[in-house]
Structure formats: C-alpha cells, structure tokens
C-alpha cells in the first residue's frame, strides 16, 4: 500500500487448441496484465461477439421502452458460450417476429376499422337522404373516403376547386380505437364517372384512403366485421406473447451481458497475441505481480486437456506499471489521488496521506456537529446497504463509491466543531 507492488514482465506461449480456455483461467485468476497492440488475428471471433453485443443493446433498449428494467443477478452461473449465443438468437428472433407481426396486424386492424366506420356513416347518411318513393329513381353512388383530420380542409377545398364546385361533400369527424389522431370520413357525390375517378385520385394524392367496394353488399360488411374481430383477438394474443418474451428477457439479460462481456475480454486479449511463424502457437507479453508468480506457476501446471501454456520471465525496457491493492476503505481515496496523478513505479503512494488530510481539511472548513451527524447518518446508510444499492443508483453511484470518504469527513466535521467549542471555552 505504501509503495507500488513489484512486477515482472513475462512471455507466455499458447497452443492454438484450447487458447480460449487458458485465457479464461488466467482472466479469472487476475494474474496477468497483457500488453501489446491489437493485431488482425481472431477478427472473426471479434466480429461475432460484436453482433451479439448489438443484439443485447437492442433488447435492453426495448426493455427500457417498456419500463422493464433488467433484473441484476447476485451470482452468474457457469453457462457454455454456445448455449448463451443460441439463447440470445432465439429470443432476438422471436421478439422481432412478434414485433413485426404486431405491426402488420395493427395496420390491418386500422384499415378494417376505417372500413367499418366508413360503411356505417355512409349508410346512415344515405338512409337519411332517401325517401321511400325515390329509391327506384335516384342512384346514390357516393365516394366514401377517410383521412387524418389535419387534411380535412385541404381535401375539401381541393375537391371544390378542381371540380368547379360541381360536388357535394359531407364530413364526419370520428375517433378510432386503432388510431391516436382523430380521423375524418368524407362522403362525396359527383356526376359522371370521369369526375368520380378524378375525385378519387385527388383524395389519394392528398393522403386519404377511398373505400374500394360496394357499400350495398351486406355480405362484404359481415366479412369485414368477422375479419376485424379475428384480427383484434390475434393482436391480443401477440401482446400476451410479447409480454412473456419481455419477462423472460428481463430475467436473463444480465446473464447474457455477463457472458458476452466476459467473452469480449477474452477476445480482446487474444487480439494482443502474435502468431509464431510456421507453428501452431501464439506468444504474448504481460506484467505479473512478483507475489503472484507462484500462482501463475500453479496455473501452468494445471492439468487440463482443454489447453495449457508456458511462460518465461524476460527483461523489458518498458516502463513498469504502478500497481496498488487498496482496501475497501482506502479505495475512494486512491481514486481521488489518481485524479491528480498516478505515482510512478515504486514511488510512495500519496493516497495514504490523503486518507486523513482530506477529511481533516473538510472538518476545518465545515466543522459543524449537526452537519457532521447528518453526513454520518447518510454514510452509515450507504455502507449498510451497499450490496442492495450497487449499480442501481444511476448517476448517484459516485456517492455510493465515496461512502467511506463521507464517513471520515463526518467524524472530522464533528470532531472539529467539538474541538473549537472546547478551545473557545478554555479561552
């Protein structure tokens, strides 16, 4: 803690077979810090992991859009990577299929509901106009259309202008279950087939939709009603399936993320290795703590048919890295020190002095028992609930990480105020 731990530079040799398993063991033991630039080796593995990262990011975004935060696991079971990849593909494809199906069915439901509304309003309007004795004389061949309400005035004015007012237009403002915005139904009557075709083209070009079948056919109306009911039931079924898939993804997403991020770390390490020409071996360099050399030797001798490695200590002209192993209490003070600068290799660690100088200066500036007690209560709460709040605080995670800094500052604030009171009375 006072000085940086001593490190050694080592060269590690890996066989092609089982290289991933060996790197996984080294990563779990945290014994080697690999160095070197990324090369073009293992590009296929890197691209494959990137695709799964994109899928996980997409699924997480969908969960957030549905107000379903990812459930974080306290422990992650060891699961084969192929099984994880298969599971991600399965849920990703399933969710996309359900989402596309829902979008298609919603569109169909919207069109069917529009058709039903147009048929209902146009029939009602015609029934009010017709007299019993006129039904055999006058042919009410209307154009029925629908559009968003914001296009109502434009369509109406364009029809009157282009058809030289030789047109009768009746509008109804309606609300549809399948649409957020209000809709307008047009019942348009014009003479001559050419004018009817012209009126239809005007409505379509301005974003409207024209009813394209005879309204007098009651069988068509019944068929539409039946299809509409069937599509509604199908949409409800799809919604239930989507909720079920989202619930499963909500529970499994953290496990997927852990396994894929672990695989990403392995692949990034593999990219730092260099292939030895005319062999099936790779070599890499890294830093190892001197006190961890025995542990690395044990890993080398570990009898594992899935992969083994060899290593040798070598001299390096590179600047040796600084390595500290702070305790839970001193870790936030170490982070504060690193903001200003990281000590060089084997230099004295200023974080040791920061553990009492920072709280002392805080107490000297903000010495107050009441404020100190409030800060003490907050810090003790954060310390007691650290496991529950970890990675669940959002932007307040930095406050949770500095809980021991707050604790030390609370003691010094109270102590400073008490000292000032005592010294004041002594005078």
pLDDT tens series, the chain, 427 aa:
677 778 889 988 988 888 888 888 888 888 888 988 887 778 888 899 999 999 999 999 999 998 998 888 878 888 888 999 999 999 999 999 999 999 999 999 999 988 888 888 887 877 776 554 444 444 556 888 999 999 999 999 998 888 877 888 888 999 888 888 899 999 888 887 888 889 989 999 998 999 876 655 667 778 888 899 999 999 999 999 999 999 999 999 999 999 999 999 999 999 899 888 888 889 999 999 888 888 888 888 765 666 778 888 888 888 888 888 888 888 888 888 888 888 888 888 888 888 889 999 998 888 888 888 999 999 999 898 888 887 677 777 888 888 999 999 999 999 888 888 777 666 5
In a domain, 34, yes or no: yes
Could you give the number of structural domains in the chain?
3
Contact 142, 115 (CB under 8 A): no
Report which of 164, 247, 249, 237 is spatially closest to residue 198, judged by C-alpha positions.
164
Point out which residues pair with 147 in neighbouring strands.
Answer: 184
Domain end point (choices 264, 287, 314):
314
In a domain, 94, yes or no: no
- Mark whether 268 and 213 lie in a shared domain: no
- Domain residues for the domain of 178 are 105-228
Domain end point (choices 228, 257, 285):
228
- Angle, vertex CA 416, rays to CA 369 and CA 366, nearest 5: 70
In a domain, 238, yes or no: no
The set of residues, in sequence order, having a beta carbon less than 8 Å from that of 145 and lying 6+ positions away, is 118, 155, 185, 186, 188, 200, 203, 208, 209, 210, 211
In a domain, 376, yes or no: yes
- Mark whether 117 and 206 lie in a shared domain: yes
- Mark whether 248 and 224 lie in a shared domain: no
How far is C-alpha 31 from the geometric centre of its chain's CA atoms? 32
CATH number at residue 154: 3.30.70.120
What are the tokens at 68? 């379903």
What are the tokens at 358? 């920072």
- Mark whether 121 and 217 lie in a shared domain: yes
Contact 150, 170 (CB under 8 A): no
In a domain, 21, yes or no: yes
- Mark whether 337 and 309 lie in a shared domain: no
Residue 64 phi/psi, 5-degree rounding, is -65, -35
In a domain, 90, yes or no: no
What are the tokens at 359? 């709280």
Contact 7, 316 (CB under 8 A): no
Q: How far is the C-alpha of 99 from the C-alpha of 105, rounded, in Å?
A: 10
Report which of 308, 297, 293, 256 is spatially closest to residue 20, judged by C-alpha positions.
308
- Mark whether 111 and 224 lie in a shared domain: yes
In a domain, 395, yes or no: yes
- Mark whether 222 and 110 lie in a shared domain: yes
Query: 48 to each of 5, 15, 260, 263, 339, how far by Cα in Å?
Result: 37, 22, 10, 10, 36
- Mark whether 251 and 309 lie in a shared domain: yes
Domain end point (choices 260, 288, 314):
314
- Mark whether 75 and 118 lie in a shared domain: no
- Mark whether 150 and 124 lie in a shared domain: yes
Contact 265, 25 (CB under 8 A): no
The set of residues, in sequence order, having a beta carbon less than 8 Å from that of 417 and lying 6+ positions away, is 367, 368, 369, 372
């Amino acid at each position: 803690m006072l000085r940086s731990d001593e490190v050694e530079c080592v060269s590690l040799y890996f066989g092609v077979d089982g290289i991933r398993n060996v790197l996984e063991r080294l990563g779990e033991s945290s014994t080697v810090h690999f160095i070197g630039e990324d090369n073009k080796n293992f590009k296929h593995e890197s691209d494959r992991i990137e695709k799964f990262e994109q899928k996980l990011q997409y699924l997480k975004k969908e969960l957030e859009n549905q107000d379903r935060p990812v459930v974080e696991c306290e422990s992650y079971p060891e699961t084969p990577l192929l099984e994880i990849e298969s599971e991600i593909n399965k849920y990703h494809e399933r969710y996309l299929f359900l989402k596309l199906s829902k979008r298609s069915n919603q569109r169909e439901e919207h069109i069917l509901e529009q058709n039903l509304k147009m048929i209902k309003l146009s029939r009602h309007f015609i029934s009010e106009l017709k007299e019993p004795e006129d039904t055999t004389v006058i042919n009410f061949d209307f154009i029925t259309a629908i559009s968003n309400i914001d296009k109502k005035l434009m369509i109406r004015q364009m029809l009157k202008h282009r058809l030289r007012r030789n047109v009768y237009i009746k509008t109804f403002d309606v609300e549809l279950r399948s649409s957020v915005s209000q809709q307008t139904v047009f019942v348009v009557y014009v003479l001559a087939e050419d004018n009817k075709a012209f009126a239809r083209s005007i409505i379509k070009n301005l974003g409207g939709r024209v009813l394209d079948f005879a309204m007098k056919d009651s069988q068509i109306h019944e068929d539409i009603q039946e299809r509409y009911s069937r599509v509604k039931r199908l949409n409800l079924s799809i919604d239930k399936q989507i909720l079920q898939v989202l619930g499963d993804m909500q529970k499994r997403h953290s496990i997927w993320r852990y396994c894929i991020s672990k695989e990403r770390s392995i692949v990034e390490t593999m990219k730092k290795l260099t292939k030895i020409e005319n062999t099936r071996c790779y070599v890499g360099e890294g830093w190892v703590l001197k006190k961890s050399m025995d542990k690395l030797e044990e890993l080398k001798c570990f009898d594992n048919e899935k992969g083994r490695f060899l290593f040798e200590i070598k001299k390096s002209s590179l600047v040796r890295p600084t390595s500290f192993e702070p305790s839970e209490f001193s870790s936030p003070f170490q982070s504060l020190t690193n903001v200003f600068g990281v000590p060089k290799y084997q230099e004295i660690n200023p974080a040791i002095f920061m553990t009492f100088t920072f709280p002392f200066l805080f107490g000297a500036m903000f010495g107050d028992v009441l404020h100190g007690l409030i800060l003490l209560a907050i810090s003790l709460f954060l310390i007691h609930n650290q496991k529950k709040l970890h990675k669940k605080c959002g932007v307040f995670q930095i406050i949770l990480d500095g809980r021991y800094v707050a604790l030390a500052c609370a003691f010094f604030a109270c102590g400073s105020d008490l000292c000032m009171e005592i010294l004041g009375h002594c005078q």
